Structure 1
Amino acid sequence: MLSIFDQGPPPPCPAPFNLAAHVLRHAERLADKTALSVLHDTRTDDWSYARLRQAILGTATGLLETGLKPGDLVLMRLGNTVEFPVAYLGAIAAGIVPVPTSSQLTEPETARMIAELNPAAVLRDADVACAPHPKQIGTEALNAMHDLPPSDFAMGDPDRLAYAVYTSGTSGKPRAVAHAHRAIWARQMMVDGWYGLTEDDRLCHAGAFNWTYTLGTGLMDPWTIGATALIPAPGTDIDRLPDLLARHHATIFAAAPGVYRKLLQGRDRLDLPALRHGLCAGEKLARALHEQWSRATGSELYEAFGMSECSTFISSSPAHPARGDALGQPQPGRRVAILGPDGPVPQGEPGTIAVHRSDPGLMLGYLNAPDEAAARMQGDWFLTGDQGAMAIDGQVTYLGRDDDMMNAGGYRVSPVEVEAVLARYPGIDQAGAAAVEVKPDTFVIAAFYSGPRELDETALRAYVEANLARYKQPRAFVHLPALPTGGNGKLLRRALPAYFKGPSR
């Protein structure tokens, strides 16, 4: 049997359609219900669905009154405040195309974006770095728009451009990924395929308002369902999260693996009586961390795999838990395959994870780089650039990025497999693996790890010898105070070899 998951397509996206209208579809029915609570130590800033809808549609009116037109691009340079999602959805409601960006970007980085996109305006917090642009709309002006008469939703073709988001750039130059309004319709497949989310849930996301993971999983998806979103106030220390989760009766918690790792440091038990389960995405979740969380809380973690070009489409869920080290399975409604050079590979064999071009969540393309999008297609399949293997039951095991795969002694080895073994060793908080050059054209696998102290190398060698085939075993072990990560918290495997001080150096 070939590695193809296909249980039928999702229901078609209705037309006419507007992404923001879909997110707010329950807002009038649930007008008095709390849509958002910003959690401070001693208080909350609560937004009802009525207040949220008014602010978003008032912003839509205000943006149009500045002279912006449907189809115009606006670059978002806003901080970690509720103004970010309000402005984002306000723009989309009006048919304007927002491009959310990380507040950590520098002025030169934003200059390149402005040159590439030629946005009609920049939505700007004065405290956030940004290159010059002739039309900047500040936060004071944006806040004043909240009380304007509400705009109508700009309805239209669900395939038209709704927003763009930049890739992390970990596999090359960051690209602006163009998404259609139908992208929010596709996210319904995550509700049962990952979240297990209901209208009665209180979902807390640990990330910032201006992070796309928070924007989707932490805000838009709960609002689409009619649930309550909980977001810790900007500047909240991670150590405060367990208390906030318990005090505000969070039923679902979402974060990147690094947050779960920090929450468990020095703790054997977390008392979270209302918590049903946690959600994890952003990088591969180590099995040891998953098990540690389950012991400490009595609740499960459900992991998801996705990318800027298609959000998350493979996941575990309460209805379909992952088996062993697998990620989970493609969400119902998705069509996913594992491809080799000649098409889908037999079940169990490694290949490139691919999603079918018909997926409603798949991007429209890269702005100003159509050839790059075309180059990532293999027939009807979009190549993710990530390696995986699909079992007979559809469960997918993640094997790492194509360009992260290690070659030592002629064997291709997944760093994820090596890291999963290392992560189970006592005293290792986080592990990374990479091929390093020990002499010209000779590469070996090196293990990099963080933890309270450097570990005995003889014991580490004995451990990996007992748990990994010889060609997969690290030949060097490097202790670091912390492993290198990008702005989104993902491990930067490409940066690891620079920390190796081997004989060739």
Structure 2
Amino acid sequence: MTVPSDASPPPARFNGARYCLEANARRHPDKPALILVGDGDAAQVLTYGEVDRAVRGVAAGLLALGLAPGSRVMIRMGNDADYAIVYFAALAAGLVAQPSSPQLTPAEAAFLMADSGAAAVVAAEDCPLDPESCRGRAVLRPADVAHLRAGPPLPAYADTAADDPAYLVYTSGTTSRPKGVLHAHRTLWGRRPMHDHWLGLRETDVVLHAGTMNWTYTLGVGIQDPWARGATTVLYTGRRDPGIWPALIARYRATLFAAVPSLYRQIVKYADLAGHDLSSLRHGITAGEALPAHLLAEWTRATGKPLYEALGMSEISTYISTGPTVPVRPGSPGRPQPGRRIAILPPEGPPEPLPAGETGLLAVHRSDPGLMLGYWNRPDEEAAVFRGEWFTGGDLARLDADGYVWFEGRHDDVMNAFGYRVSPSEVEAVLIGHPDVQEVAVAERAVREDVRVIAAYVVPKPGHAPDREALIAWCQERLAGYKCPREVVFLEALPRTPNGKVQRKRLAETAGA
């Protein structure tokens, strides 16, 4: 189905950083673009004029290092302003930003560096880097970034084409190694449908985002989208306490608040919502996990404010949503945003869209400007997700008669850990290396009605008795924290098909038997 829209295609020559910053810096240079709040009352405020100047300074410095157009710049920084500055500087210079999580172990980061062929790595002072993997690459620390920020600025943003590569993000797939999702500059233009129809975003808005800078949900909804509209972003860098969020909404008169459903659940349960003035807030927005109908009702009852959900993925960000123009239907993430063209395709056979009511693979048309350019050096995986004119990301869903999407799970085994996609194979590849483990399978496990965690189902080697905490610690030494299992379940054997394939969907059932 296609939802009508007056959205125009991106200009042929288009630079995502210029789109977000140049006009805003000229029109209102003294307006706050970014407010970073730590513990206590301290806050760092950067205006549009200051961000534009810093971005162009770092962009010029990166080019002075001899980086060629299209070179990847890996970002390994903490939750601070320089993360955003370096990200936009790479785009401004015609380079490719490669945001990554500081939670990655040195070995995980080394794989991403090698896979992307990153020419430069920008890392926080306390971020460990493997010296061998950095050999031949420019390595910049915070002092270097500060020097570049103060240096001569790039006179003009790079004259990139809309289809030129802009950023590369790594996401878990069905294999044991993350894969790079390459996006073009046009992707920032392709986010425009969500501005009106999910976020309801205005130039006068103050957007409080609960995520950290390295997450694409934060970079996109928390920074790129507000800056594209000339709004103000507020990010919190202090201790994670559910009670802080209503206090921040009140203190900064936030009009939009973005988080994942699990945080909304904690806020409703533990925060003093009635003790803070939330009158500035128009609505909350949520993505990354499915929003349970009862949580939606609890939030609305406690605050009197709407909560709008969106469904998306790294390859296209959010493209299904509720919002100011799409009424909420509890249990559904919404309808296609105007200008999006989606379909439900049969899992096998010709890519002919299925009628309303039938379950199949949720697909988006490859003409969407927000869709990725492709997977980095993974032609086989790329070929597997494009079927004719459609991109299929592995979500099973159906459409009702009114065009609302009803999510029916994943066609593959990819898990969702607090909004991050995690491949079971990646976790299994770590656990199978433990000397006490004979076999292992990893899957999501429901611990409450609306809470699911990553669980490892382990068959010990004969004569061995591995300790649960020791296995979790083994993972924590080798994987980013969000990838590590929260539970370990010991089994005598893994459930398998007659052909020997592990039946992940039967793991929880087997464990309970």
Q: TM-score, normalised by structure 2?
A: 0.79
Tell me whether 1:250 sits opposite 2:254 in the alignment: yes
How is 1:335-350 mapped onto 2 (pairs within 5 angstroms)?
335-340=341-346, 341=348, 342=350, 343-350=352-359
1:98/1:163 contact within 8 Å kept: yes
User: In the superposition, relative to structure 1, how do residues 450 and 378 fare at CA in structure 2: closer, same or farther (>3 Å)?
Assistant: closer
Post-superposition offset of 1:131: 2.4
Alpha-carbon distance in 1 for matches of 2:34, 2:309: 24
- Residue number in structure 2 paired with 1:366: 375
Alpha-carbon distance in 2 for matches of 1:286, 1:252: 20
Post-superposition offset of 1:201: 0.6
- Residue number in structure 2 paired with 1:145: 148
Post-superposition offset of 1:34: 0.9
User: In the superposition, relative to structure 1, how do residues 352 and 160 fare at CA in structure 2: closer, same or farther (>3 Å)?
Assistant: same
Post-superposition offset of 1:113: 1.4
Post-superposition offset of 1:371: 2.2
2:190/2:370 contact within 8 Å kept: yes
Alpha-carbon distance in 2 for matches of 1:97, 1:197: 27
- Residue number in structure 1 paired with 2:9: 12
2:68/2:95 contact within 8 Å kept: yes
User: In the superposition, relative to structure 1, how do residues 491 and 20 fare at CA in structure 2: closer, same or farther (>3 Å)?
Assistant: farther
- Residue type of the alignment partner of 1:282: G
Alpha-carbon distance in 1 for matches of 2:237, 2:511: 45
How is 1:48-447 mapped onto 2 (pairs within 5 angstroms)?
48-132=47-131, 133-134=134-135, 135-151=138-154, 152-169=156-173, 173-267=177-271, 269-270=273-274, 271=276, 272-340=278-346, 341=348, 342=350, 343-403=352-412
Post-superposition offset of 1:170: 6.7
1:9/1:334 contact within 8 Å kept: no
Post-superposition offset of 1:488: 5.8
User: In the superposition, relative to structure 1, how do residues 166 and 360 fare at CA in structure 2: closer, same or farther (>3 Å)?
Assistant: same
- Residue type of the alignment partner of 1:19: G
1:80/1:234 contact within 8 Å kept: no
- Residue type of the alignment partner of 2:96: V
Post-superposition offset of 1:294: 0.5
In terms of mean alpha carbon deviation, does 228-237 or 182-191 score higher? 228-237
Alpha-carbon distance in 2 for matches of 1:99, 1:389: 34
In terms of mean alpha carbon deviation, does 131-140 or 166-175 score higher? 166-175
- Residue number in structure 2 paired with 1:27: 25
- Residue type of the alignment partner of 2:219: L
1:204/1:245 contact within 8 Å kept: yes
User: In the superposition, relative to structure 1, how do residues 358 and 126 fare at CA in structure 2: closer, same or farther (>3 Å)?
Assistant: same
Alpha-carbon distance in 2 for matches of 1:339, 1:110: 36
Aligned length in residues: 432
SS of match in other structure, 2:25: coil
SS of match in other structure, 2:364: strand
- Map Cα deviations across residues 231-286 of structure 1 (whole Å, 9 max, x no partner): 11243533222111111101100011111111112457444121110010011111
Post-superposition offset of 1:451: 10
Post-superposition offset of 1:319: 1.4
Alpha-carbon distance in 1 for matches of 2:179, 2:152: 36
User: In the superposition, relative to structure 1, how do residues 80 and 269 fare at CA in structure 2: closer, same or farther (>3 Å)?
Assistant: closer
Post-superposition offset of 1:450: 7.5
Post-superposition offset of 1:7: 2.5
SS of match in other structure, 2:110: helix
2:291/2:331 contact within 8 Å kept: no
- Residue type of the alignment partner of 2:27: R
- Residue type of the alignment partner of 1:361: G
User: In the superposition, relative to structure 1, how do residues 362 and 502 fare at CA in structure 2: closer, same or farther (>3 Å)?
Assistant: closer
Q: TM-score, normalised by structure 1?
A: 0.80
Post-superposition offset of 1:403: 2.8
Alpha-carbon distance in 2 for matches of 1:262, 1:184: 31
Post-superposition offset of 1:492: 9.2
- Map Cα deviations across residues 445-466 of structure 1 (whole Å, 9 max, x no partner): 98532799xxxxxxxxxxxxxx
- Residue number in structure 2 paired with 1:455: none
Alpha-carbon distance in 1 for matches of 2:485, 2:408: 15
SS of match in other structure, 2:408: strand
- Map Cα deviations across residues 67-111 of structure 1 (whole Å, 9 max, x no partner): 222211121111111110100000110011111011110011112
- Residue number in structure 2 paired with 1:461: none
- Residue type of the alignment partner of 1:354: A
How is 1:455-470 mapped onto 2 (pairs within 5 angstroms)?
none
Post-superposition offset of 1:307: 0.5
Post-superposition offset of 1:489: 9.0
- Residue type of the alignment partner of 1:47: L
- Map Cα deviations across residues 108-131 of structure 1 (whole Å, 9 max, x no partner): 111211221221111111312332
- Residue type of the alignment partner of 1:377: F
User: In the superposition, relative to structure 1, how do residues 499 and 234 fare at CA in structure 2: closer, same or farther (>3 Å)?
Assistant: farther
User: In the superposition, relative to structure 1, how do residues 371 and 19 fare at CA in structure 2: closer, same or farther (>3 Å)?
Assistant: same
2:264/2:299 contact within 8 Å kept: yes
Post-superposition offset of 1:324: 3.2
- Report the identity percentage: 43
Alpha-carbon distance in 1 for matches of 2:296, 2:480: 22
1:38/1:46 contact within 8 Å kept: yes
- Residue type of the alignment partner of 2:8: P
Alpha-carbon distance in 2 for matches of 1:48, 1:307: 31
SS of match in other structure, 1:229: strand
Alpha-carbon distance in 2 for matches of 1:330, 1:179: 21
Post-superposition offset of 1:399: 1.3
2:37/2:238 contact within 8 Å kept: no
User: In the superposition, relative to structure 1, how do residues 500 and 355 fare at CA in structure 2: closer, same or farther (>3 Å)?
Assistant: same
User: In the superposition, relative to structure 1, how do residues 9 and 180 fare at CA in structure 2: closer, same or farther (>3 Å)?
Assistant: farther
- Residue number in structure 1 paired with 2:420: none
User: In the superposition, relative to structure 1, how do residues 263 and 170 fare at CA in structure 2: closer, same or farther (>3 Å)?
Assistant: farther
2:385/2:391 contact within 8 Å kept: yes
Alpha-carbon distance in 1 for matches of 2:101, 2:8: 33
Alpha-carbon distance in 2 for matches of 1:231, 1:80: 9
- Residue number in structure 2 paired with 1:36: 34
Alpha-carbon distance in 1 for matches of 2:330, 2:285: 17
User: In the superposition, relative to structure 1, how do residues 275 and 320 fare at CA in structure 2: closer, same or farther (>3 Å)?
Assistant: same
- Residue type of the alignment partner of 2:30: D
Alpha-carbon distance in 1 for matches of 2:228, 2:450: 40
Post-superposition offset of 1:173: 3.3
Alpha-carbon distance in 1 for matches of 2:321, 2:483: 20
- Residue number in structure 2 paired with 1:431: none
1:258/1:489 contact within 8 Å kept: no
